[in-house]
Structure 1
Amino acid sequence: MNDSLQTSPIHKLLLKYCIPAIVSMMTVSLYNTVDRVFIGHIPNIGSLALTSLGTVMPFITIILACELLITYGAIANLSIKLGEKNQLMAEKILNQVPGLGVMISLLLMIIFFIFKTPLLELFGANKIILPLASEYLNVIILGIPFYIIGFSLMATIRSEGNPKRAALILIMSCVINIVLDPIFIFGLGLGIKGAAIATVLSYLAVFIYVFYYYSIGKSNLKLKWAYLKPELSLIKPILLFGLSTSLVQLITALIQVLFNRSLAYYGTPLSIGAFTTVTTITNLALMPAVGINQGSVPIIGYNYGQKRYDRVKLTFIQGTLAATVIFTIGFILIQLIPDILIRFFNSDDSLLPSTSEGLKLYLFSLPLCALTTTAPNFFQAIGQSKLSIWLVILRQIILLIPLILILPKFIGLNGVWLAQPITDLIIAIISFYLIRKEFKRYSSV
């Protein structure tokens, strides 16, 4: 596997690593998408249920941030150590994942259970929405350890040279969720709570399988009792490498809150439900680039460790071009048939015009998102975590948050929708400059 990362043509490696990763990330997106499709069609309360889910999304995003903190940190360090032919250190890094996942999961569960109600109210839930949101969130909180530990270990399977298995595990879990959703929501009459139960059971399936794989399965690296003890010297680089990706999600949670509150103020409370649909379609559109990022990390990290800068450069260029093509196709579909896409998630005609308009405005700079997505992860993969974090802070805090707060004061609700694409346009220009500067450095080495 290591020799192929150094010698195989880049386009073949991208196909090998990125396609399974794209399938995996699209499957991750389907977790929430499937829930929202069924939840949006619950008789009589579909729009309210979608709105309640919108107030829960910051919680979900925080959980995802914690999982990605471990995932990206682990796979980046694993790839570099495998590139250096250091099998022992790679295995020790792998064994830090379960303990780190337990500590973070317990902390989240305690905080969420104690502050659930005031946080939901802060995130936009009113008296009508709060009971539905609490019903869904109570179950999701119980599944936090299964998700964080299971999905983090599943991601490392790609880095050790088995991307297809990781994709198959995720597909299996998604199928479980798809099958159980209608059974629990409609068949057993559990409504939104049933959607949460189905999701947690699918997390549990991943959790069980990855422990089997790394303990008695045919993995190259193994979970061993001798290495499971937390070691600060190993945990620190995991957290450092994963920080930028995790920070993106934490800031995304804050931005979701600002969007919820702005939409409710400049629109109506049900505008949060419209935003839930818009962000669901957005996630489906963005997941290919996230998959390309995950698939590229082992290739970039390994070749950077081997000082094969020509292959590092080519991997980034080809991956970003592929993401741009995918995003352009998504942009065309969103601009041409927004109503068809929206009706998958909600059949309430009263919400259709505002959701359609919001979707087209929110994603009008989608083709540029390829570069804004791949650039921070490129710098992360080559160990320049500070630059990666700086790009995230610039995009989400320095630009996007002020735009969310300022633009609606001048152009109303449209200002809320336009804040994100304007930010992406600016970041795309800056990212192009930074990547070009990095590539020039390779020419002088």
Structure 2
Amino acid sequence: MNNHVQRIGEEKVSKLLFKFSIPAIISMLVSAMYNIIDAIFIGHSVGPLGIAAVTVAFPIMMIQMAFGLLVGVGTTTLVSIRLGEQKHDEAQSILGNGFALVLIIALIVSIAGLIFIEPLLQLFGASSDVMPYAKDFTTIILAGSFFMTTGFSLNSLISAEGKPTKAMILSVLGTLINLGLAPLFIFVLGWGIRGAALATVIAQSITAILIVSHFLRPNSYLKILLRNMKLKKELIINIMAIGSAPFLVQLAQCVLSAVMNQSLLAYGGDVAISGLGIIYRIMTLIFLPVLGISQGAQPIIGYNYGALQYQRVKRTLVLAISAATIISTVGFILTRAIPTQLIMLFNDDPQLVSFGTNAMAIFLFCLPILGVQVIGSNYFQAIGKPKHAMVLSLSRQVLILIPLLLILPKYLQLQGVLIAAPISDFLSTVITVIALVYEVRRLNQKENDLVRINTEEGNVLS
């Protein structure tokens, strides 16, 4: 067996989680910093309307990511479990089918998005003032959808192969290219918001090419082989079943964005959309490292679950939740200490700063407990239980939050939009904790059964 893979079942769990999570966190942080710096560039070159344009365009980018997650999470989870079961050939077959599937989906998403671009932007809250900027930005992003979806889908598989540092380097490289091109295109060449979109697409294209080339190298433990790219119904169903939870969560985010942006537009106008767009970017800076912890834990949990090493599974879960909670708490303290300064980084418009400072205090009120909900729901993905993962993930974004957004603003107007988020965060976390308690009890029972079986076999042999 490949030594990089074998260590997942043997090394100290805390050391493994550190090795797998730190590269993912760095990668996520660099990506988050790009989103923030890019919005700062747009805010200072185009103004609040530019920030609003990127905010209403972002759900379309989330649709791209949703399809990347549909294939990427499903493929990575199945590959991790098969490697834990010592089934290398099956893992490669899953990889080949996943790659073929993402190529087909990416092409369809790009074409469909370009055809329906204006109705989509209107759905996500683009006013007549914001529409020209949003359309310029989104057209270029959709034209490059093929590369974004492919790269996003396959990068986590490099970690599953036991090489998280390389996965981080490829992700960071793309982001650094983006950061270098964005100010050149926006300010030096004067391309404005189109320049921001073009910089993003070029960087994503380079990253995708490098990620795919990794699996074509002779020394790669997992390889993309032409014979494995012939779609197999059973594999495709399994990939999409496991990936359906994060996929539906991302789509739910799109529905959520449509409902929220329409409410913001109705009760606060373009300034409210711009302000919440800034808050989302600041939250992303905190939230993505939590996802990095989750991403780092996924192959460890999946491999050890497949290898029946349940103590290591539980240890990874506890450490991941602890680390995620520390990160989210530090972020919470930061948003309470300097909220006005954070908003003013993007634009110093007095109305925008006033709304953003007030909204941040309300919207992020339950941020410290969010790590439990994220790690808990993603845990069920890692062990191949998509239904559990889907319910827990959707509890926060759909089952609780969207109904609150439809009800509360009717009575509380703009304040109703803002308080819906912390209420949803709290209730979904409670549900996740309950599910995890039952799951840990189940693991304890399975562990006891293994001990009993091994003891009985030992007695028979003696």
Into which bin does the TM-score normalised by the smaller protein fall? Answer: over 0.9
Could you say what the CA RMSD is over the residues aligned between the two structures, in angstroms?
A: 1.3
2:387 is aligned with 1:396: no
2:21 is aligned with 1:21: no
SS in 1 for 2:128: coil
* Separation of aligned partners in 1, 2:38 and 2:233: 38
* Separation of aligned partners in 2, 1:156 and 1:226: 19
* Structure 1 counterpart of 2:210: 209
What is the number of equivalent residue pairs in this alignment? 443
Cα offset, 1:302, TM superposition? 0.8
* Structure 2 counterpart of 1:131: 132
Consecutive unaligned residues of structure 2, counting only runs of 5 or more, are: 447-462
Cα offset, 1:209, TM superposition? 0.8
* Structure 1 counterpart of 2:261: 260
- Residue pair 2:5, 2:161 contacting (<8 A) in 1 also: no
* Structure 2 counterpart of 1:288: 289
* Separation of aligned partners in 2, 1:55 and 1:429: 31
* Structure 2 counterpart of 1:305: 306
Residue by residue over 1:378-436, the C-alpha shift from the partner in whole angstroms, topping out at 9 and shown as x without a partner, is 11111221111112333222211111111222222121111111111011111111101
* Structure 2 counterpart of 1:8: 11
* Separation of aligned partners in 2, 1:226 and 1:34: 43
- Residue pair 2:96, 2:229 contacting (<8 A) in 1 also: yes
% identical aligned pairs: 37
SS in 2 for 1:406: helix
- Alpha-carbon spacing, 1:111–1:203, altered in 2? closer, same or farther (3 Å): same
Residue by residue over 1:276-321, the C-alpha shift from the partner in whole angstroms, topping out at 9 and shown as x without a partner, is 1011111111111111111111110111111111111110011001
- Residue pair 1:376, 1:392 contacting (<8 A) in 2 also: yes
* Structure 2 counterpart of 1:219: 220
Give the alignment of 1:176-215 within 5 angstroms.
176-215=177-216
Residue by residue over 1:185-207, the C-alpha shift from the partner in whole angstroms, topping out at 9 and shown as x without a partner, is 01111000000000000001111
* Structure 1 counterpart of 2:328: 327
* Structure 2 counterpart of 1:412: 413
* Separation of aligned partners in 2, 1:216 and 1:375: 35
* Structure 2 counterpart of 1:337: 338
* Separation of aligned partners in 1, 2:381 and 2:155: 20
Give the alignment of 1:65-144 within 5 angstroms.
65-144=66-145
Amino acid at match of 1:20: P
Consecutive unaligned residues of structure 1, counting only runs of 5 or more, are: none
* Structure 1 counterpart of 2:457: none
Cα offset, 1:374, TM superposition? 0.9
* Separation of aligned partners in 1, 2:215 and 2:33: 26
* Separation of aligned partners in 1, 2:170 and 2:107: 25
* Structure 2 counterpart of 1:277: 278
- Residue pair 1:63, 1:148 contacting (<8 A) in 2 also: yes
Q: Which deviates more from structure 2 when the two are superposed, residues 297-306 or residues 387-396?
A: 387-396
* Structure 2 counterpart of 1:59: 60
Q: Which deviates more from structure 2 when the two are superposed, residues 260-269 or residues 174-183?
A: 260-269
* Separation of aligned partners in 1, 2:230 and 2:49: 46
Cα offset, 1:118, TM superposition? 1.6
Q: Which deviates more from structure 2 when the two are superposed, residues 25-34 or residues 404-413?
A: 25-34
SS in 2 for 1:351: helix
Cα offset, 1:438, TM superposition? 1.0
- Residue pair 1:10, 1:315 contacting (<8 A) in 2 also: yes
SS in 2 for 1:364: coil
* Separation of aligned partners in 1, 2:443 and 2:102: 37
Cα offset, 1:217, TM superposition? 5.6
* Separation of aligned partners in 2, 1:323 and 1:243: 24
* Separation of aligned partners in 2, 1:388 and 1:213: 30
- Matching residue within 30, 35, 41 for 1:38: 41
Amino acid at match of 2:132: P
Amino acid at match of 1:77: L
Q: Which deviates more from structure 2 when the two are superposed, residues 323-332 or residues 93-102?
A: 93-102
- Alpha-carbon spacing, 1:383–1:212, altered in 2? closer, same or farther (3 Å): closer
Moved over 4 A (4+): none
* Separation of aligned partners in 2, 1:336 and 1:146: 39
- Residue pair 2:74, 2:242 contacting (<8 A) in 1 also: yes
* Separation of aligned partners in 1, 2:32 and 2:231: 31
Amino acid at match of 1:211: V
* Separation of aligned partners in 1, 2:432 and 2:286: 20
Amino acid at match of 2:328: F
* Separation of aligned partners in 2, 1:303 and 1:351: 49
TM-score, structure 1 length as denominator? Answer: 0.97
* Structure 2 counterpart of 1:315: 316
Cα offset, 1:167, TM superposition? 0.2
Cα offset, 1:6, TM superposition? 1.7
* Separation of aligned partners in 1, 2:199 and 2:289: 25
* Separation of aligned partners in 1, 2:264 and 2:64: 24
